């Protein structure tokens, strides 16, 4: 691990129930449960502590012997961030501790990206940091399943949206098949770093109109007046696993590797 990477904790929310892919954390990719692969990525990144926040004993059992801690959390949390807030209280993490929220469906998250989001938070006084990557294809910009973001000149997030953002008015009035090169289109990568003190307070923030309209919980942070630092990822993040088709693609990707 690079000397400029601060000490950080990785916390992985892993919920058993999933509408699109039931028992998702236990789905196997090349005979290894998905949640185990995610935990292995966190260990490879050099985290000082890796905690998996679970809501089902079957997930805990799958992680036995993996060198990570398991925190049994309530089953009624609305989001992964809420689940991790319970962990922050349970472990009594210091308010200034850096906690990386690595999603439980990101089995191929690059170690360099995990370290980069921790560095992004350490280098900023924002309570939250996240990553982004340039969008180069028009179909990606117009896909509502791809979350876009714009950021300010200081590198902090200005807004997140499922809509095409920013809107290149003049270029898109002519055609929408090719993106204008001079516009900074960015795709959000759903990995976050929090200061533990803010993570503990996060659950006390009321849900907000834009958060509910876009179904993007990071907007709750912005709407309540808190900053989110954004950096570009140093390595590509392969897509997460949301559906059975994603799982099959992951198997094929590993077989080719």
The candidate with the shortest Cα–Cα distance to 249, out of 130, 107, 63, 96, is 107
Please tell me the least confidently modeled range out of 80-84, 95-99, 131-135, 179-183: 80-84
In the chain the first and final C-alpha atoms are separated, in Å, by: 24
How many percent of the chain have pLDDT more than 70? 98
| Residue-level pLDDT at 2 | 55
Task: Quote the Cα angle for 210-215-220, to 5°.
Answer: 50
**Please, what sign has the CA dihedral across residues 88, 92, 93, 95?**
positive
Please tell me the pTM assigned to this model: 0.93
**In which band, very low, low, confident or very high, does the pLDDT at 19 lie, cut at 50, 70 and 90?**
confident
Predicted local confidence at residue 92, as pLDDT: 95
Cα 85 to Cα 203: distance, rounded to the nearest angstrom? 7
| Per-residue pLDDT reduced to its tens digit, 82-93 | 889 999 999 999
For residue range 224-240, list pLDDT tens digits in order: 999 999 999 999 998 88
CA 131, CA 234: separation in Å to the nearest integer?
Answer: 9
Which comes out higher in pLDDT, residue 20 or 64? 64
């Amino acid at each position: 691990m690079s000397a400029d990477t601060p000490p950080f904790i990785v916390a992985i929310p892993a919920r058993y129930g999933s509408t699109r892919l039931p028992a998702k954390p236990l789905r196997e990719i090349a005979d290894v449960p998905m949640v185990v692969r995610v935990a292995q990525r966190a260990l490879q990144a050099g985290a000082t502590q890796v905690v998996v926040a679970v809501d089902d004993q079957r997930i805990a059992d799958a992680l036995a012997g993996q060198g990570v801690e398991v925190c049994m959390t309530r089953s009624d949390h609305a989001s992964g961030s809420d689940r991790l807030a319970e962990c922050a209280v349970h472990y009594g993490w210091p308010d200034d501790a850096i906690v990386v929220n690595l999603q439980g469906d990101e089995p191929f998250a690059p170690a360099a990206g995990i370290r980069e989001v921790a560095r992004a938070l350490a280098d900023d006084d924002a309570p939250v940091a996240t990553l982004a990557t340039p969008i180069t294809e028009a179909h990606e910009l117009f896909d509502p399943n791809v979350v876009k973001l714009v950021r300010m000149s200081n590198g902090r997030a200005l807004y997140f949206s499922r809509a095409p953002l920013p809107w290149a008015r003049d270029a898109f009035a002519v055609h929408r098949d090719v993106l204008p090169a001079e516009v900074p289109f960015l795709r959000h990568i759903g990995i976050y770093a929090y200061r533990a003190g803010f993570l503990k307070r996060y659950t006390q923030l009321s849900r907000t109109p834009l958060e509910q309209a876009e179904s993007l919980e990071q907007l709750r942070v912005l709407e309540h007046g808190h900053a989110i630092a954004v950096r570009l990822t140093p390595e590509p993040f392969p897509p997460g696993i949301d559906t059975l088709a994603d799982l099959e693609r992951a198997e094929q990707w590993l077989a080719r590797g």
